Structure 1
Amino acid sequence: MLIRLARDDDMEDFVRIYGRAYEGLEEYAYTTRKEIKSYFRWLRKRDSEGMFVAVDDSTEEVVGFVACDTNWYSSFEEKEVGEIHELFVEPEWRGKGVGKALLEKGIEYARLKGRDLTELWVGEKNYKAREFYEKMGFKAAGSWGHWIRMVKRI
């Protein structure tokens, strides 16, 4: 597996995989192609150097994305942090280390940009993601609506 910077031409893969990754979790997701495309453009605009894709090196198929925003100001921390806005993996690629590699790449990027904390928000009923983030060293740090805030010192 190869991890590389996301490009504008990754939008269609983003839309396809995002939709599949959020099946059953639609209450936490954008649900129309237009919204998902707009979200992709927003993520790229926020911090284009912090958005990465995982690619199967044998087929060159894109299998996952992470978007880390080092321009994000956390009102909870009162400073800029490495905000993980998004992390998702093609469902048949889950459990193969793709999410871990992507998350580690996002965290590494935040560290290189001088951030000492990463934060993210995860749906309260997205139990698999919450368990994954806990295994990766994130701790719950409050909630808002149906979202759980998680943080990790880096």
Structure 2
Amino acid sequence: MQNKVAESEVIVRPLHIEDREDFLAMSKAFFNSDAVAHKVEDVYHERTFAELMRSSEYTECYMICIADQSVGYALTAKTWSREAGGLTVWLEELFILPEWRGHGLGATFLSRWLNRVEKKEKDIYRLRLEVEPENRDAMRLYRRQGFERLGYDAWVKELPH
């Protein structure tokens, strides 16, 4: 690991309308990286930002900042799970700019997010995430934070629009 950024220097805050350009740039970088199985259309990034500005009913976004510089973001989504017995929150995306990776920012975000969820969000029963099999660094990070492999294969069927 490179030099770790002091936790006191890391700001994790909700996404604001003023973050639009930073969010869209990082979101596009995420979907053009090895962390995802396939790219998405540009309109999907715009649609996601619009939904984030509309409501936190389905999804929330947190900007990860050092001083006034956005260096990453995390996107969560909510779903109901009978298997879990209630509300499940997915960590859909956790992205740190390449030049800021290895400084402990992902771990700092996860630690703060998990602390908030575990202490204040009593209606959440499970947290889930997906990770590409080749992304060993992310797997180590998630294991250190208490996540375990579920063992399911993920299947999807896209619907025409």
**Do Structure 1 and Structure 2 share a fold, with TM-score over 0.5?**
yes
Structure with the bigger percentage of strand: 1
> How far off its partner does 1:133 sit?
1.1
In structure 2, do the counterparts of structure 1 residues 47 and 109 end up closer, same or farther at CA, with 3 Å as the change threshold? farther
Task: Tell me which structure has the larger Cα radius of gyration.
Answer: 2
Which whole-Å CA distance do the structure 2 matches of 1:79 and 1:108 have between them?
19
In structure 2, do the counterparts of structure 1 residues 10 and 47 end up closer, same or farther at CA, with 3 Å as the change threshold? farther
* Residue 128 of structure 2 corresponds to residue 130 of structure 1: no
Moved over 4 A (4+): 46-50
> How far off its partner does 1:72 sit?
2.2
TM-score of the aligned structures, taking structure 1 as reference length? 0.74
Q: Which runs of 5+ in 1 are unaligned?
A: 148-154
- How do residues 4-153 of structure 1 correspond to structure 2 at under 5 angstroms? 4-25=13-34, 27-43=36-52, 45-47=55-57, 50-57=60-67, 60-69=68-77, 71-111=78-118, 112-114=120-122, 115-145=124-154
Which whole-Å CA distance do the structure 2 matches of 1:62 and 1:122 have between them?
23
CA contact (8 A) 1:50 1:106 kept: no
Q: Amino acid of the residue matched to residue 138 of structure 1?
A: F
Q: Cα RMSD (Å) of the superposition?
A: 2.8
TM-score of the aligned structures, taking structure 2 as reference length? 0.72
> How far off its partner does 1:63 sit?
0.7
Which whole-Å CA distance do the structure 1 matches of 2:44 and 2:71 have between them?
20
> How far off its partner does 1:85 sit?
2.0
Query: Number of residue pairs matched?
Result: 144
Identity over aligned residues, as a percent?
20
Which whole-Å CA distance do the structure 2 matches of 1:40 and 1:142 have between them?
31
